[in-house]
Amino acid sequence: MADPAHSRRLFLFAAALLLVGAAFLRFQQIGRRSFHADEAVQAYQTWQLLRGEGYTYDPADKHGPFLYYAAVGLAKISGWSPASLNETRLRSFTLFAGLGTLALILANAARLGRATVLVGSALLAVAPLAIIYDTCFIQEAWFCFFTWALFFAALHWREKPTFPGALLVGALAGLMQATKETSVLHFAALGVALMAVRPGSEWTRLWPGGLAALFAALFVYVIFYSAFFTRWTGVADGILSYFNYTARAAGSAHDQPWHYYWSMLWLHTREGVHWGEPLLLIAALIGAGFAFTRRANPAQRALAVFTLTLLFLYSVIPYKTPWLLLTPYAGLTLLAGYGVRQMADGLPGGFARYAPAAFAFVLVVAGVWRNFPALSRYAADDRNPYVYQPTSADLARLVTAVAAMPADRKIAVVSPDHAWPLPWYWRDRASTGYFATPPANLSSYDLVLFDSRFDSPLPASVTAFGLRPNVVLWCTAR
């Protein structure tokens, strides 16, 4: 019989090694890509807030305020000035969330099983989807962390309904909503999962704690949306945002078919490049099947219901982007770990003891072999299924060239969307103008950049810089 103390030490060593490896992979990626347009928008607002210009929540086209206030908090603690704010520092903030999610999963080994969390965390640690968006300055990494923190906190509160547990559940729900409005989908999926593992009649004894959780959630909501009690109209704006996002849920340029996320993970080819994680998907579906047998405990069954429900909700909504898959993807890796564990238990004799590690090794190697080009050669390539409208690596040439120009040179950028991420990179160049249509005095500018989506009035002898897939900036200098 294995020594429990030895097994625990071995698990802790493996968990620490896994976290170190995950951190290394993510630090390697922080500077590999230029800012995505969405990253630049978030960074610009964070920069303004750090400069003391305040923050105003926009219910029409912005996510919750948590990212900006928390990033500014880290900047102040670290002694970063607005001038020293850069891509590496901002992306390191979301990296903490990614590593936090892994640590959170590993900390719940007693609930899900050591083999399940080790295999699942290993798959998540090396997953290109997770590595990319853990090092991307958007809301998703923190949204994923808060979601899984709420999942495990809710399971604990279900087992031991204490008042502090209820407050923690409420605070996490509030932080989720203050991060992204799509938290309502995650609340719905979690509600289905909890009902699946606890009869409805047993929930009546939890209602006093439920009121405490609701109060905590509302308190966190008010703190962030009122800009720390300085702008009360933001509280109503946070509610109005749901009307705007409901109207935009379909009919946008980001609409995709229902099977978009499944297609990302299954074998497919993009312009001659092969992608897919079929072994992960198969192992996850096997794990989901085992979760509905008598072998599974309530937490494992809740994991399957939550992950599958969340995938279903995101699949039926037309609006889709790769980063929305991050939270359910973490659930898929855990289900794959559970599937590996259960399949190993069916093997004879001593094979069952070592089979999870062998199966996990095969899954990790297969994923690395098929998908690590997403982190190297195709890191900023539209053929990479894990990125979406990536900023062209070519744009770095333009940013470098302009950095060598005197600060007083006048620059005109003519683009329907201001050619983000350029406003971030040129945030200190006050003489730069952004125009949706060509200004009358275009000839007075020292440098003119014209979006290829317009008919360019520039001379034929211009330089081209890639902005994003199928969009080029035509450049001429005086």
pLDDT at 2: 54
247 and 59 in contact (C-beta within 8 Å)? no
Total number of domains constituting the chain: 2
Specify the residue for token string 């009649």: 201
pLDDT at 247: 62
Do 278 and 360 lie in one domain? The reply is yes
Do 363 and 399 lie in one domain? The reply is no
Do 307 and 412 lie in one domain? The reply is no
Return the H-helix or E-strand segment holding 261.
helix 260-265
Do 414 and 446 lie in one domain? The reply is yes
Residue type, 92: S
Domain boundary residue among 315, 345, 375?
A: 375
Cα separation values, 361 from 174, 339, 369, Å: 38, 14, 12
**3-class SS shares of the chain: helix, strand, coil, % to 5:** 60, 5, 30
In a domain, 255, yes or no: yes
In a domain, 169, yes or no: yes
In a domain, 27, yes or no: yes
For residue 477, the cross-strand partners are 447
Do 34 and 182 lie in one domain? The reply is yes
Query: What is the C-alpha to C-alpha distance for residues 214 and 414, in angstroms, rounded to an integer?
Result: 48
Do 297 and 430 lie in one domain? The reply is no
pLDDT at 1: 46
3-state secondary structure of 96: helix
**pLDDT tens digit sequence for 22-50:** 999 999 999 888 999 999 999 999 999 99
Do 129 and 261 lie in one domain? The reply is yes
Query: What is the C-alpha to C-alpha distance for residues 111 and 338, in angstroms, rounded to an integer?
Result: 12
399 and 86 in contact (C-beta within 8 Å)? no
Specify the residue for token string 């206030």: 69
Do 408 and 365 lie in one domain? The reply is no
Structural domain range at position 414: 395-477
Tokens of 163: 């008042």
pLDDT at 178: 95
Domain boundary residue among 375, 406, 429?
A: 375
Do 193 and 224 lie in one domain? The reply is yes
Q: How does DSSP assign 215-241, residue by residue?
A: HHHHHHHHHHHTTTTT-THHHHHHHHH
Per-residue pLDDT of the chain (478 residues; tens, 9 = 90+): 456 776 888 899 999 999 999 999 999 999 888 999 999 999 999 999 999 998 888 877 778 999 999 999 999 999 999 999 999 999 999 999 999 999 999 999 999 999 999 999 999 999 999 999 999 999 999 999 999 999 999 999 988 888 999 999 999 999 999 999 999 999 999 999 998 887 655 566 667 788 899 999 999 999 999 999 988 888 888 888 777 666 665 566 778 899 999 999 999 999 889 899 999 999 999 999 999 999 899 999 999 999 999 999 999 999 999 999 999 999 999 999 999 888 877 766 666 666 777 777 788 887 777 778 899 899 989 999 999 999 998 999 999 999 999 888 999 999 998 999 999 999 999 899 999 888 888 888 999 998 988 876 666 657 889 999 989 998 888 7
3-state secondary structure of 164: helix
Do 346 and 471 lie in one domain? The reply is no
Do 321 and 414 lie in one domain? The reply is no
In a domain, 338, yes or no: yes
DSSP state of 12: H
pLDDT at 459: 65
In a domain, 424, yes or no: yes
> Long-range contacts for 9-12 (Cβ within 8 Å, ≥24 apart)?
11/109, 11/114, 11/118
Domain boundary residue among 375, 403, 438?
A: 375
DSSP state of 86: -
Return the H-helix or E-strand segment holding 465.
strand 463-468
Surface-to-core class of residue 293, CB atoms within 10 Å of its CB (0-12 exposed, 13-18 middle, 19+ buried): exposed
Residues 6+ apart with CB under 8 A from 25: 125, 126, 131, 375
Do 111 and 251 lie in one domain? The reply is yes
Specify the residue for token string 């090092």: 135
pLDDT at 300: 96
